[in-house]
Structures are given as structure tokens and as C-alpha cells.
């Protein structure tokens, strides 16, 4: 404990209350530059331009040169790509640990280490927290000690449950707690150190956290080698204090506990690992009881912690400051995205220190569908963020009369350019739509007429767009067609005179004539095929499956939702109550299809939460949301913001990212904010 006290005192001396800008820059450079130079020097005269000719030399002399030793001659070398080598030893941290030539690109693998990454990235995120301005001190019921011990126990449960995920990262990975096992005790010690350092920081900045939460979209907080997220752990720490202070929703907690008990009872453990890829830090990689219980606990504590933070800081929420921080974050996402795209070193550093779920794009050119995501995990997520930021700024101006400064106009233009580059058509249309909706709601028309205009106007616009682009006959069958294309049919379907089988001819009813257990068709696909073929149908209304299919095609979701239907094969209990929060393994690997590798997501947070919480969970969430919107139907600002998010969540997996879930929780609780705006200017 004396050592921690010394370290804390040292940091406080390094970070005085009125640190100069030069001091901030110096500390930032210490974090970014020095650790990577400790093992191999800053510059090395023996190292020149990395090229195809020097690749054999680096392949022979691995773990000899640090990343910083090649910066000088290779900073603008567009032939190289720098990637983390996640299973390196501590001795090779920051050093070149492998070089390969792939598709005319020289891939340089820099050694990273489980323990060093956790310590270094944690300290950087704590430094970012220090930059949040102080408010009055908030006194938690417990100091750091008790919540920290609980977090340590919970994280140990995580390491125990996701052991198979960590084994490839270290040959010596062992979940045992003994002096011969360095990895686990050191990770748990870092957690204790983290919250010891955070303890005083959070007391004086707790009431200001929500004002600066937009920056989690820039600094994602995911660890390089761990399936953990710094900010998820932080709000879980706060969540423990919320429970200790008896400030949490007991009815919802009881419902959550009931779901959890049923999910545990229905759970089937399997010795498999799911490739979490860009979802790292907020999705389970394994399928066993410890990992299931960990994600149940951490998901609950995270939500409790976020809601508690919002409720306790309502008086200090500054909409002007939040607006500015959204604009700054959006601008920095684009600017750092551009820098990361044109420079391999910056690409590596932004990925590592920003805690990105996925490295930034490596070029300024667009990818499939003419999209560009920059620092974001996906172009879709980037587009949603930029569109929301613009909507938030516009509605604040008209509803709260919060002026937009010249600087903010400039930042707004950058965000609009980011939205344009993301090429997220749906987010752009929904942005325009909800700006129009806001003005219609603000008009003097009576409420019923407003609802009628919006409802029938929306249907008319969507119908005109859809039918002008796709025929209803084709659109109504696209969903099932894509589902069958993704299915590994267990029998050979006979062809006609043109060798076209039932799937080619869109004759799905023929497949129902075969025994269900012989076709390898998921039970959800079997049910929807029967529903489409035999009904029941309601007079004057389209078939429900055909209608969903017709909607999915123009929004470019028929393929992704079709794959979901092909894979989703729940038993009755899982259909009703789900597999558990962040449990995607059974859905993805439990039923064999043509998409059992890589990461093909449902592309719908609605479907994601159907996997997690089942039909009853979706029903409860829908009623809870509808009730909140109805109670606040005269708060047009709130209605437009929450509706914008809900519409976009139907067609995106955003809630699989902790930052997007944090945003959704904030907006859902937005009605609590006093109409009086605290102007920070």
C-alpha cells in the first residue's frame, strides 16, 4: 500500500491543478513515445527504410529493434502496415517481432503483451479522466477498497470463463492464483492500482462525467489483448456504489434476476470460442457458466452505473457543453481517421491508445458500397454518430434556443462531411426526416392530425421509394431467399428441366414437404416459411413475412437478416427468455450454416437483443420504451432523439458497442433533465 501511495503522490506532483498546455503535451508524448523506445532505443543507425530487400534481415533479427527505431526513415513509407503481435513476451514489448510481405504490403508486427498493455492503456485512460474539469466533491458510500475487491473477483470470473480466448495470447496463461503464475495476479493487481488512482479523480469529477461522455466514441476504451473495456469497468465500479447507496430500480432488477436464473438453468456449456473481432470488450467469447455469469453481472452493473451517474448529476448536466463535446468528438474522429489512414505509425498508435475495437482504415479510399469509416468500427456506426450529432445540435438550437458559435458551425461542417463520407443513406434520411418531424410536432395542428400526417406520410414515402426501386413480388421473397442461400441444406433438392431447384425458383413451400430434421433448416426459418406459405393472413393486409421482407430489401438488410434467420435456432426457453446478455456464441456457432467463420452480425440491435433476452425481453423493453415516450409525448426534443436512435437501431448492431449503449441510456433518460439550460459559455 505504501508503494501505491508513493505512486499516487508522484502522479499528483506531475499533474498539478494548473498544468500548462506544454505539460499536457509532454505527458501525452511520454505515454505515446517512451514506452515503445525503452526496449530498443529511439533511433537506430543500423535501420534504414523498410523494403522488400530488408525484410529477410528483420525476419532474422526479431525482437531486436523497437518500433520507434524505424520511425525516422519510414514515417511516410506507404508500403508498410504496422500491426500488434498480441502474444509477445514482456521482453519483446514494443519491438519488431515479425515481418511479412502480403499482397505487396510489408506487414510489421510489433510486440504487445497482455500485462503491459493492461497497465499502459489503463494509465492512459486514467490520464484522460484527469483532463475532465473538477466539480464539487461527490462522496460515495464506499471508498475504492470494497468495490475494487468486487471488480477484481468479477474480472477473475471473466478470466476463468474465457480462458480459451486468452490461451493463444500467452503460452503460460494459467488461471491459478500462485506465485509461479505471473499473469493473473499482475492483471488483478493492475485493477486494484487503477481504482486506487481513480478513487480521488472520480470524486471530484463524477458530476461532470456525463458532460464529457461523447468522447467515449473517440476513446473507445477497449484493451488490445483483453476482452474488457475500461469504461465498462468504470461504470460497473460506480454501479456497485449505486447498489450500496440503494439507488437503483428494484423492480427492473428483479425482472433481470428472473431472466438470469432462467437463462442459467437453460444454459448448455460448450468448449468453443467465438471470434469477437471488432466486438471485443463487450461480447462473450466463450460458452461456459463462469463467462455467462460474468457478463450477466457486468452488463447489469454497467447499466446501473450509467443510470446512477445520470440521476446524480442532473443538476450539473450542461447541454451546451455536451453539444460542443459531440461536435469536437465527431471532428476528431474524422481528423484522426484521416491521419491514421495516411500514416501507418499513427494508425497503430490511435488503435492502441484510443482503445479502438478495430484499427482505423488504412487508406482514404472508400470500401464496399462507397463507405469510409475512419476510426469507427464500421461506416454504419460512424454515420449514425455523425447524423445524431447534427440532429442534436439542430434540435438544441430550435427547442432550447442554444446558440451555435462560429467554432461550432465549423465543427458542424466537419461532422456533415463525416456523414457524407460514411455514405450512411439511412442515417442521413432519418436525420432529415426527424428534423421535419420536429417542426410538424411543433406546429399548431391538433395531436391526432400530427400523428396521422406523420404516419401516412412515412408509409407513402417509403412505399414510393420501395416500389420505384423493387417490385413487391421480388421484395416479398428476398428475405427467405437469402435465408435459404445461407443454409446448408441437408438433402439434395431436385432440379427442373433448367436445373433450377426449389430455392432458385423461390418455391419455398416445396421444402416443407421434406422431414424437418433432414433439411438442417433452423426452426426460425421453418416457422417463417410456413407462415409465408400457409398464413394465417388478415384480409386486406399483406403477409407479415412478406411485409418484413419488402421492408428489408430497400434498406439493404435482406441478406443480413436472412443469414440471421438461417442461424437462429433457439429452443422454446431461449426463444422466450434469450441466451443471456452479450451471449452470441450459441446463436453463431450452435447451428451449422454457410457462415460459421468470420463475423457476420444480424445488423439489427433488435435481433441482437432477441438473442440476448428473447421474445419476453423484447416485449418488456418495447413496453418500457413506449411508456416513456408516451408520458413525454409533448417533449418533442426527447421524442425525436429517442425515435431517431430506435429507427437506426432496428437496422444496425450499434448496441453491441458500449459507447452506443451509453448514448442510448443517456437519451432514454433525457426527459429527466431540467428544461433550464446551464450555459457553460
pLDDT in tens, 557-595: 888 999 999 999 999 999 999 999 999 998 888 888 888
Residue 508 predicted with pLDDT over 90: no
The pTM score is 0.89
More confident residue, 15 or 271: 271
Cα–Cα distance for residue pair 122/90, rounded to 1 Å: 17
Cα–Cα distance for residue pair 681/679, rounded to 1 Å: 6
Tell me the average pLDDT of the chain: 83
pLDDT score of 458 = 59
Closest CA to 617 of 258, 239, 298, 297: 258
pLDDT score of 20 = 55
CB 263 within 8 A of CB 292: yes
| DSSP symbol at 288 | S
Cα–Cα distance for residue pair 559/481, rounded to 1 Å: 9
pLDDT score of 448 = 63
Residue % of the chain over a pLDDT of 70: 85
pLDDT score of 232 = 95
pLDDT score of 461 = 56
φ/ψ (deg, to 5) at 656: -80, -5
Residue 44 predicted with pLDDT over 60: no
CB 498 within 8 A of CB 488: no
Residue % of the chain over a pLDDT of 90: 37
- Residues 585-595 have pLDDT tens digits of 988 888 888 88
pLDDT score of 547 = 83
More confident residue, 507 or 389: 389
pLDDT score of 238 = 93
**For the chain, what percentages of helix, strand and coil (3-state, to nearest 5) are there?**
60, 5, 35
Amino acid at each position: 500500500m505504501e508503494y501505491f501511495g508513493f505512486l499516487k503522490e508522484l502522479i499528483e506532483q506531475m499533474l498539478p491543478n494548473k498544468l500548462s498546455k506544454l505539460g499536457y503535451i509532454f505527458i501525452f508524448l511520454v505515454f505515446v513515445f517512451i514506452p515503445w523506445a525503452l526496449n530498443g532505443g529511439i533511433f537506430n543507425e543500423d535501420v534504414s527504410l523498410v523494403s522488400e530487400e530488408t525484410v529477410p534481415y528483420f525476419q532474422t533479427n526479431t525482437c531486436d529493434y523497437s518500433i520507434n527505431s524505424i520511425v525516422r526513415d519510414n514515417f511516410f513509407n506507404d508500403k508498410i502496415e504496422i500491426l500488434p503481435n498480441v502474444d509477445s513476451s514482456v521482453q519483446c514489448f514494443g519491438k519488431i517481432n515479425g515481418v511479412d510481405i502480403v499482397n505487396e504490403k510489408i506487414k510489421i508486427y510489433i510486440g504487445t503483451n497482455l500485462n503491459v498493455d493492461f497497465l499502459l492503456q489503463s494509465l492512459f485512460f486514467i490520464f484522460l479522466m484527469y483532463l475532465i474539469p473538477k466539480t464539487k466533491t461527490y462522496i460515495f458510500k464506499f471508498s475504492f477498497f470494497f468495490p475494487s475487491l468486487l471488480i477484481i473477483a468479477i474480472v477473475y470470473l471473466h478470466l476463468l470463463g474465457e480462458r480459451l480466448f486468452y490461451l493463444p495470447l500467452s503460452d503460460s496463461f494459467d488461471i491459478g492464483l500462485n506465485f509461479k503464475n505471473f499473469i493473473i495476479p499482475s492483471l488483478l493487481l493492475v485493477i486494484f492500482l487503477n481504482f486506487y488512482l481513480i478513487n480521488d479523480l472520480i470524486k471530484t469529477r463524477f458530476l461532470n462525467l456525463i458532460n464529457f461522455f461523447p468522447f467515449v466514441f473517440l476513446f473507445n476504451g477497449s484493451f488490445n489483448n483483453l476482452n474488457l473495456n475500461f469504461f465498462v469497468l468504470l461504470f460497473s465500479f460506480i454501479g456497485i456504489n449505486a447498489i450500496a447507496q440503494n439507488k437503483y430500480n428494484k423492480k427492473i432488477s428483479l425482472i433481470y434476476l428472473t431472466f438470469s436464473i432462467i437463462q442459467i438453468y437453460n444454459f448448455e456449456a460448450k468448449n468453443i470460442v467465438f471470434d469477437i473481432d471488432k466486438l471485443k470488450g463487450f461480447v462473450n467469447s466463450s460458452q461456459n457458466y463462469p463467462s455467462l455469469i460474468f457478463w450477466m453481472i457486468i452488463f447489469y452493473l454497467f447499466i446501473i452505473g450509467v443510470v446512477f451517474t445520470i440521476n446524480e448529476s442532473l443538476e450539473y448536466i450542461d447541454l451546451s457543453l455536451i453539444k460542443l463535446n459531440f461536435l469536437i468528438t465527431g471532428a476528431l474522429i474524422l481528423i484522426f481517421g484521416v491521419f491514421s489512414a495516411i500514416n501507418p505509425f499513427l494508425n497503430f498508435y490511435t488503435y492502441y491508445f484510443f482503445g479502438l475495437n478495430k484499427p482505423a482504415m488504412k487508406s482514404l479510399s472508400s470500401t464496399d458500397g462507397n463507405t469510409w469509416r475512419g476510426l469507427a468500427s464500421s461506416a454504419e456506426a460512424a454515420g449514425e454518430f455523425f447524423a445524431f450529432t447534427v440532429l442534436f445540435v439542430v434540435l438544441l438550437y430550435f427547442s432550447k434556443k442554444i446558440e451555435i458559435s462560429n467554432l461550432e458551425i465549423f465543427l458542424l461542417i466537419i461532422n456533415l462531411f463525416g456523414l457524407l463520407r460514411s455514405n450512411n443513406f439511412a442515417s442521413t434520411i432519418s436525420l432529415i426526416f426527424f428534423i421535419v418531424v420536429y417542426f410538424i410536432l411543433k406546429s399548431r395542428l391538433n395531436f391526432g392530425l400530427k400523428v396521422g400526417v406523420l404516419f401516412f406520410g412515412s408509409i407513402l414515402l417509403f412505399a414510393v421509394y420501395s416500389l420505384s426501386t423493387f417490385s413487391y413480388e421480388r421484395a416479398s421473397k428476398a428475405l427467405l431467399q437469402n435465408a435459404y442461400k445461407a443454409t446448408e441444406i441437408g438433402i439434395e433438392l431436385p432440379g427442373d428441366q433448367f436445373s433450377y431447384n426449389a430455392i432458385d425458383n423461390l418455391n419455398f413451400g416445396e421444402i416443407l414437404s421434406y422431414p424437418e430434421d433432414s433439411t438442417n433448416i433452423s426452426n426460425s426459418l421453418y416457422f417463417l416459411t410456413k407462415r409465408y406459405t400457409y398464413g394465417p393472413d388478415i384480409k386486406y393486409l399483406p403477409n407479415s413475412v412478406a411485409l418484413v421482407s419488402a421492408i428489408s430489401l430497400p434498406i439493404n438488410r435482406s441478406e443480413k437478416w436472412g443469414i440471421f434467420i438461417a442461424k437462429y435456432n433457439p429452443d422454446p426457453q431461449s426463444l422466450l427468455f434469450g441466451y443471456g446478455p452479450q451471449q452470441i456464441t450459441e446463436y453463431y456457432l450452435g447451428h451449422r450454416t454457410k457462415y460459421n467463420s468470420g463475423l457476420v452480425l444480424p445488423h439489427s440491435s433488435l435481433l441482437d437483443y432477441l438473442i440476448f433476452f428473447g421474445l419476453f425481453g423484447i416485449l418488456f423493453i418495447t413496453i418500457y420504451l413506449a411508456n416513456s415516450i408516451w408520458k413525454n409525448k409533448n417533449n418533442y426534443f426527447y421524442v425525436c432523439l429517442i425515435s431517431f436512435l430506435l429507427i437506426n437501431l432496428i437496422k444496425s448492431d450499434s448496441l453491441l458497442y458500449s459507447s452506443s449503449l451509453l448514448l442510448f441510456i443517456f437519451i432514454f433518460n433525457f426527459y429527466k433533465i431540467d428544461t433550464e439550460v446551464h450555459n457553460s459559455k
